[in-house]
Amino acid sequence: MSAELICVIVLGLMFVIGTWRDLNMGLLGFIAAAGVGGLVLDQAPEEFLAGFPVDLFLTLVGLTYLFGFAQNNGVIDVIVRWCVRIVGGRTGLMPWIFFALTAILIALGALFAVAIIAPLALSFARRHRINQFMTGLLVVHGALAGAFSPISVYGIFINDYLAKNGLTPTPVSLFFAPLVFNLVFAIAVYLVLHRRPGLRAEADDELSPDAAVPAPEGGAASAVRSGASVTAEATVRLERSQIPTLIGLIAMALSVIVFGWDVGVVTITISAVLAAIDPEAGKAAMSKVSWSVVVLITGVLTYIAVLQEAGTVEWVSAGISAIGIPLLAALLLFYMSGLISALASSLAIIGVVIALAVPFLESGDVHVGGFVAALAIAATIVDISPFSTNGAMLLANVHPAIRDRYYRQMIGYAGLMCLIGPGLAWVVAAVPTWLAG
């Protein structure tokens, strides 16, 4: 059996075992890198670990550490309340405030923005008799709309990967294509559902204005706390202990966006300063670092580097190119991405598909910017699935009396996205290619 085929079989087993047994695919990636690199390619440890992305590791740790301060000390709560006051008493506009907040937070690097906003959004929807399913969908679409900004985890991951493989990153199209795509879907959801009463639980009538919503484990407890008491008339004051964190977030955004400094170094430096100011807060924020995501991304990329050394990427890409119609090959990759992503990690499948597509992207038969933007859409548009992190966050914050019905609606919507999402995303990839031709 050839080394290329062994690598593909191991990759498939990673997805199957990771999904079936709910194991972090990054751990499997490190094991696969050692197994295939050491036993099949006869590599030394320093060789099969050479693909470990140190710069991305720093970025992931720095971003999630910095936002751990903001989540723990209530700075995000204050920002949410400021936004709530903007709409006054017009509660019907609040789903769009939640959409925008989630988009902005994830665009700035708050990877688990849905975990932060979902408890607040769903509790607000219950109290004000707003369609809860619609509100949840707008929160998730908001996260997907902002997920690929140049300073987000997703955006940095893809742009860096393209650059390292000799392809020109297209951060503007990568950011705006998913943003527009998800905004259109959010508008469609709002128009269809906003006048419908949505799901109701008998216990809802017993909820007082100060009732709280259970948060998912590891979720945004502070967001739940604030969501229990948010009103348009609420007095919002920034506490003295929150000022350094707010300054740190502003400094991070300015230094990365305006001056182009490395986001990993910047966020770790700011976090270290905040931890020096308040050591106890630093320890608490460290517990918010998304280690599972760090392991997932670094492990998968480490194994992808081994795949490249084995020649597997070129081997698979040659098979894809043999289809003879590059855009048809792209369409098949998009549907594969969507279906797998509904059950597994979006970031993992994006990394694998880009690696497989690099050779035929280099040929120029498919527009790089269009392909990458469409892949980002196809692999994430299904994230309303209850098996995904975002979907699970919504389901965890729904009243138990309606959770089963909410789950069935999520399954139906995720199925619809799997059916039409990758096909519509393909148009994003196809149009630039047609225009260039």
Q: HEC string of 173-193? A: HHHHHHHHHHHHHHHHHHHHH
Structural domain for 178, as ranges? 3-436
Percent of the chain residues topping a pLDDT of 70: 86
Q: What are phi and psi of 89, to 5 degrees?
A: -95, 10
- 230: confidence class by pLDDT, cuts 50, 70, 90: very low
Mean pLDDT value of segment 321-344: 78
Rounded to whole angstroms, the maximal C-alpha distance in the chain is 69
pLDDT of 268 higher than 50: yes
pLDDT at residue 271 in the model: 95
Please check whether residue 234 is in contact with residue 30, taking contact to mean a CB–CB distance below 8 angstroms.
no
Give per-residue burial for 274-288: e unless 16+ CB within 10 Å, then b.
bbeebeebbebbbeb
Distance CA(206)–CA(236), nearest Å, equals 27
Please check whether residue 131 is in contact with residue 171, taking contact to mean a CB–CB distance below 8 angstroms.
no
pLDDT at residue 433 in the model: 63
DSSP 196: S
Q: How many structural domains are present in the chain?
A: 1
pLDDT of 299 higher than 70: yes
DSSP 38: I
pLDDT of 203 higher than 70: no
**Comparing C-alpha atoms, which of 213, 300, 332, 267 is closest to residue 24?**
300
**Comparing C-alpha atoms, which of 413, 398, 403 is closest to residue 119?**
398
Reported as a single tens digit per residue, the pLDDT across 45-101 is 999 999 898 887 888 788 889 888 988 888 877 877 777 777 766 777 889 999 998
- Give the burial class of 205: count Cβ atoms within 10 A of its Cβ; 0-12 exposed, 13-18 middle, 19 or more buried: exposed
Highest mean pLDDT, choosing among 109-113, 323-327, 382-386, 414-418: 414-418
User: Global pTM?
Assistant: 0.69
The label of the residue with tokens 């936004």 reads 83
